[in-house]
Amino acid sequence: MEILNSLLVSINRREVSKVRIGLNWTAVSVEHNGDEQCGIASTIVQSHTHSEEPRIKMAGEFEDFSNLELAELSLSDNPTLRSVGVAAINASITPDLHKVEESNAADVLAKYGAGKKLALIGRFPFSDRLRSKVGELSVIDQNPGPGDYPPGEASEILPKSDVVAITGMSLINHTLQDLLDLCPEGSFVMVLGPSAPLSPVLFDYGVDVISGAVIENIKKVLRVVTQGGNFRQVHKAGVKLVNLYR
C-alpha cells in the first residue's frame, strides 16, 4: 500500500469526464483547463451470481466523483474497483514527453538482459521471442504455461536475477512492493505494461525504468475498451508505448 499511497499524494485534483470498465481494460479520462487525459489499467473481475448483491455499487455514478476519489479505489478490497483506481491514477499523471523514449519494453529488456538472468513477472506476447535474446529467462505467471513458473517461485528466482521486469498489474493486485523487495541490490528493474504509472514516484522504490502507455486518441481508445478489445486492439486505436528512465 505504501507505493499506492505515495502515488495518491503525488496527483492533483481533476474533473472526471468518462469511466469505462471493459472486458479486458478499464479506462478513466479526466479534464483540467480544457485539456483531457486518459489512463488505462487491466480489468480484474471476480466470478459472481445474479442473486448476490452488486459488486460495483457505484455503477452509473463514477463520473460524479473527482479523480482523487476514484484513485483511492486502488486501495479497495474489490479488484474491479482497484482497476478503476489505477486507471484514475494513470489518467492524472502528465508525463514529461521530453523525458520519455518512444520504444517498447521488449527492446529494452533485450538490451539489458543480453547474457544475463532475466525474470519476467507476467507472460507477455513477446516472452518467447525474448528468450533467445537474453542469457536466461524465467517467466512467472498466475496461470503458468509450459516452461513458466507459478507465483510462489518468485522468492527463489528474483533474488538470483540480474534483470527483473514486473507487470504493472502487480500494482492492482497489491503485490508490487513484495516483488520489488525480492529484487537484489544492483539489479535492473522495470515495471511494464499499460497499467504501470509513468510517475517518478516508482523510482523511489528501486525501479529503473517504467515502460508504460500514453493515450493519444482518447475517443477511439474508449470505444475499443468499452467493446471488449484486447491490448493489441487498444494499442492500434491510439496508444503510444514509451519508456521513462530513472
Domain annotation covers residue 115: yes
C-alpha 167 chain-centroid distance: 6
The C-alpha cell that represents 55 in the structure block = 459488486
**Residues 137 and 220 occupy one common structural domain:** no
Residue 240: CB atoms within 10 Å: 14
Instruction: Report phi then psi at 238, rounded to 5.
Output: 150, 50
Report CA-CA distances (Å) from 42 to 50, 85, 185, 194, 196: 24, 11, 29, 8, 10
pLDDT at site 185: 96
pLDDT number for residue 151: 96
- Asked if residue 123 and residue 51 are part of one domain, the reply reads no
119, 208: one domain: yes
In this structure, the answer to whether residues 104 and 206 fall within a common structural domain is yes
| Collapsed DSSP state (helix, strand, coil) of residue 64 | helix
- The answer to whether residues 14 and 79 belong to one domain is yes
Residues 104 and 179 in one domain: yes
How far is 146 from 114, CA to CA, in rounded Å? 23
- Within a domain: 244: no
27 and 52 housed in the same domain: yes
pLDDT along the chain (246 residues), means of 10: 96 97 98 94 81 83 97 97 98 90 94 97 94 97 94 97 98 97 97 97 98 97 98 97 96
181 in a structural domain: yes
- What's residue 127's pLDDT? 94
Burial of residue 141, with CB atoms counted within 10 A of its CB: 0-12 exposed, 13-18 middle, 19 or more buried: middle
Same structural domain for residues 81 and 107?
no
Is residue 24 within 8 A of residue 227, CB to CB? The reply is no
Q: Is residue 33 part of a domain?
A: yes
Query: Is residue 245 domain-resident?
Result: no
The pTM of this model reads 0.95
Is residue 20 a part of any domain in this protein?
A: yes
Same domain as 122, residue 57: no
Q: Do 41 and 109 belong to one domain? A: no
Number of structural domains (the chain) is 2
Residue 207's CATH number? 3.40.50.11590
35-63 burial by CB neighbour count: b if 16+ within 10 A, else e?
ebbbbbbbbbeeeeeeeeeeeeebeeebe
- Residues 193-246 pLDDT 10s: 999 999 999 999 999 999 999 999 999 999 999 999 999 999 999 999 999 999
Sheet holding 209-215, edge to edge: 100-101, 239-245, 209-215, 188-192, 163-167, 117-121, 136-140
According to the model, what pLDDT value does residue 51 have? 62
- Domain-located, residue 129: yes
H/E stretch holding 120 = strand 117-121
Claim to verify: residue 108 and residue 201 sit in the same structural domain: yes
CA distance 4 to 177: 10
Q: Which domain holds residue 42?
A: 2-95+214-239
* 246 within domain boundaries: no
Same-domain check for residues 228 and 205: no
What CATH number is attached to the domain comprising 76?
3.30.390.100
